[in-house]
Amino acid sequence: DGGITQSPKYLFRKEGQNVTLSCEQNLNHDAMYWYRQDPGQGLRLIYYSQIVNDFQKGDIAEGYSVSREKKESFPLTVTSAQKNPTAFYLCASSQTGSISYNEQFFGPGTRLTVL
Amino acid sequence: GQQVMQIPQYQHVQEGEDFTTYCNSSTTLSNIQWYKQRPGGHPVFLIQLVKSGEVKKQKRLTFQFGEAKKNSSLHITATQTTDVGTYFCAGRSGNTGKLIFGQGTTLQVKP
């Protein structure tokens, strides 16, 4: 059964702690993305990766870090430098092509609450 | 930077009424995608529009891409309770995988 998995679904952390969110896909997609969703603000891009061992900052990368050591995995670390980390985090992946990128497939999301 | 604005933010309709959400970009787009997110769920791809002036239909849903490739709309005819959710447009400029999402329109349908 192909798809994207994110774990855990809910995560609670104390202020000042780093936390890593997991994202795994078995769709054989080259591109992977991390978004943050806040009420009334849509999806904002944090980081994206178009190929293994390479990634680019999105619009709100400050306070976050990523790695892409394997095609299937794109973990996101929310560091203590992120001033307002409580949010819903969505991971997505897509195929890449010479003409245009295809649809993005989203994982179920992780709701992070920093206390 | 590039922005994609979407209106309205919320829409409440009676079941059977029509619904439209509009999307405007500050720059010309290479293509635009539409997604639906059910309450408590994650966004799911609906459609992609690529050509200037393109119109695509999916049952009661009609998607349009403007002639200048800077705006788009989604129209739902005779809404049903299953249409409830938030509809996002997402524009792409250039030839990268990066999408810029609109803020979304949340649709509530009263039975």
State the DSSP string of B14-62: ETT--EEEEEEESS--SEEEEEEE-TTS--EEEEEE-STT-EEEETTEE
**Which chain B residue shows the shortest CA-CA distance from A98?**
B95
pLDDT of residue A39: 82
Instruction: Please measure the distance between the N-terminal and C-terminal CA atoms of chain B and give it in whole angstroms.
Output: 41
How many pairs of residues across A and B have Cβ atoms under 8 Å apart? 56
Would you say residue A2 has pLDDT above 70? no
B13 interfacial to chain A (CB closer than 8 Å): no
Position B9 confidence tier, pLDDT thresholds 50, 70, 90: very high
% of chain A with per-residue pLDDT over 90: 77
Question: What single-letter DSSP state applies at residue A73?
Answer: B
Cβ-based interface (< 8 Å): residues of A facing B: 31, 33, 35, 40-45, 48, 50, 58-59, 90, 94, 96, 100-109
Q: In what order do the strands lie in the sheet with B19-25?
A: B4-7, B19-25, B71-76, B61-65, B55-58
Q: What confidence score (pLDDT) does residue B94 get?
A: 72
Q: Give B32→chain A minimum CA distance, Å.
A: 10
CA–CA distance, B51 with B49 (Å, rounded to integer): 6
What's chain B's average pLDDT? 94
Can you tell me the mean pLDDT for B74-98? 91
Q: Count Cβ neighbours within 10 Å for each residue of B70-101 and write b for 16 or more, e otherwise.
A: bbbbbebeebeeebebbbbbbbbbeeebbbbb
Q: How confident is the model at residue A100 (pLDDT cuts 50, 70, 90)?
A: low
pLDDT at A78 over 60: yes
Per-residue pLDDT band for B2 (boundaries 50, 70, 90) equals confident
Residue of B nearest to A109 (CA): B42
Q: Does the pLDDT at position A101 exceed 90?
A: no
- Segment B50-62, tens digit of pLDDT: 999 999 999 999 9
Cβ contact A44–B92 (<8 Å): no
- The CA distance from A67 to the nearest CA of chain B, in Å, is 18
* Percentage of chain B modeled with pLDDT above 90: 88
- What local confidence, expressed as pLDDT, does residue A97 receive? 67
Mean pLDDT of chain A, nearest integer: 91
pLDDT of B93 reads: 76
Closest CA to B38 of B101, B84, B90: B84
Question: Which residues of B are less than 8 Å from A31 in CB distance?
Answer: 97
Torsion of CA B99, A91, A63, B91, to 10 degrees: 10
